[in-house]
Structure 1
Amino acid sequence: MLIVLPPSETKSHGGSGAPLDLAELSFPELTPVRRELVDALSTLPVDDALETLKISEKLRGEAESNTRLWTNPTMPAIERYTGVLYDALDAATLEDTSRLAVGSALFGVVRAADPIPHYRLSGGSKLGGRTMKSRWGKLITEALSGEFIVDLRSGTYQTLGKVPGAVTVRVVSGETRQVISHFNKHFKGEFARALALHDAGSVGDVVDIARAAGLDIEFDGGPELTLVTP
């Protein structure tokens, strides 16, 4: 089982790892596109990057950091990404993170231990006039084929490489039955943590693991689960 998490806009800076070496990343079939994107992003003038990335002057440091993608230090991907989902996941307290991966506009998909630098690029960005979806084509889908996938990526990142048959999760309010957005990431983080502690080979296994962890999961026999919040 591989649990594919969504990335986060916020990321930890710094790191103690050597500069980016694409040969060190999982899914080597993604290397050519990764190289093209890193080269394009790192050579994009900072003023142009602010517009391309749709970020304000206050975040100029993010664009400046992109110019050093080949030289900045790295850290494991699971430590690089931060935010609500990653707080709930609390990967630092997991003995084994090998079942975790993260979707990425820049790297396609990386496993938890893959060393990556700080960067700023979203799945909805255009770089060199091309969308991330057009750049990745079918490569991410093909890279993830052959494994049992639990896909927790947001819609934007799923479109970069859809995985037919993957288990997905919809988070709804127990009171209104409406899809929730504010706490969506928190509950997906709890869900991912529960799964990371066990192995699963079917959607039924996933349901059993989640329910044993105290999560309210509705299952109609298909690959889409509904997680009902308190």
Structure 2
Amino acid sequence: MSYARPTAILVDDSSLTRASLPGLMPELDFVGSFSTADECVGRGTRADVTIIELERADKCVNEVRHGLDGLRRAISAGHHACVYTQEARPFIHAACLAAGAKGVVSRAKPLDVAEKAFLEVAHGHAFISQGLVIAFDQLPRRHQFAMLTPQQSTILNARARGLPFPAIAGMLHLPASQVQFEWRRICSAISHFLQRGDLSVATGVLGLPADDLADLWPCRNSVSSDSARIGQPA
């Protein structure tokens, strides 16, 4: 039985990546491929997910700033962006989500993991990189409980330790589908937390070092770490 594959746009300055990635991800229907975010926005092509690269800051600090600027322009134009990056620092991943990206996945991950991340975003869910999962798991429990239920906090801890959904389901005596549902709620809560928080949320509450890239964090109208903690996942 045939089914409609989610559509995808690829924004990457590597012609090799633009040529090869669509053939390596059969679950996605690539409807556009662009070398820059401006070209993508200018063309007006839309899809369920826009996969956009972000350079490493250690390659060139201004490259990652340029990448964040392009990401913001794509998001402002209505794209559902998932960042696909070689940058490993959780602070930069958090800045992408705070800017409105729906997901962040490392290029170091196997292709099937990246494809799953893109599919999650294409289906309207958030995808959180493992570095951020670990950072949120290390939050004091009093902060976690303002955002997550006790059961969700247990699931977060299991995912931070790399446990797969079936193992977590067995541990909690729940169906695997229920664990996946709760995990999506957790990812949504983390995404909303970052989108509402100011720089102190990342550097103070989460303890993510900004190094010389604090300017990547979106400017907020004095949204405090306390107000960012409030609320249950959608």
Larger strand fraction of residues: 1
- Structure of higher RCO (CA pairs closer than 8 Å, 6+ residues apart): 1
Does the TM-score normalized on the shorter chain lie above 0.5? Answer: no
Which of the pair is proportionally richer in helix? Answer: 2
> Could you tell me the TM-score, scaled by structure 1's length?
0.36
